[in-house]
Amino acid sequence: MQRLRTWDERFRTGNSKERNLKQALGEIERMGSALSLSKSVSETASVIYRRALEEDLLPGRSIEGIASAATYAAARQARMSRTIDEVTAVSRVDEMEFKRAYRYIVHELNLSTSQSR
C-alpha cells in the first residue's frame, strides 16, 4: 500500500520540484506552528524557500535543512527570532546541518538579517 501511495503522489504532482516544494512548505508550516511564529513569518519563510528553489540552491542539501534555515531567517527578519537551540529542537536536522544551510542561503540569496548572533 505504501508503494501505491508513493506512486499516486508522484503522479499527482508533476515534477520533482513540485514535490520538493510541497514537502518543504509542510515542514515550514509545522516548524512555524511549533515555534509559535505568526502566519506572516511562515509566508516569508516560504518565499525564501521558493527563491532558493528557483536559483537551484538545493542540490546536495536536504529539504528539511533549507526549510529550517528559511524559517529561522524569516523569524529574524520579522524580529521574532528564536534561538538556534529552539529551531533545532523542532527541526528534523542536526544543529551543524542547520547552521550550514542557514549560512549558505543568507550568503547566496543576500538576505538581510536584522540581528546579529
Q: Domain containing 90 — which CATH number?
A: 1.10.472.10
Rg over alpha carbons for the chain, rounded to the nearest Å, is: 14
Report how far residue 33's alpha carbon sits from residue 52's, in angstroms, rounded to the nearest whole number: 22
Total of domains in the chain: 1
Q: Which domain holds residue 87?
A: 2-109
**Residue 105 domain-assigned?**
yes
Give 13-25 pLDDT, tens digit per residue: 667 788 888 899 9
Question: Is residue 115 in some structural domain?
Answer: no
Q: Give the tens place of pLDDT for each residue, 20-72.
A: 888 999 999 999 999 999 999 999 999 999 999 999 888 889 999 999 999 99
Do 28 and 62 meet the contact criterion of CB atoms below 8 Å apart? no
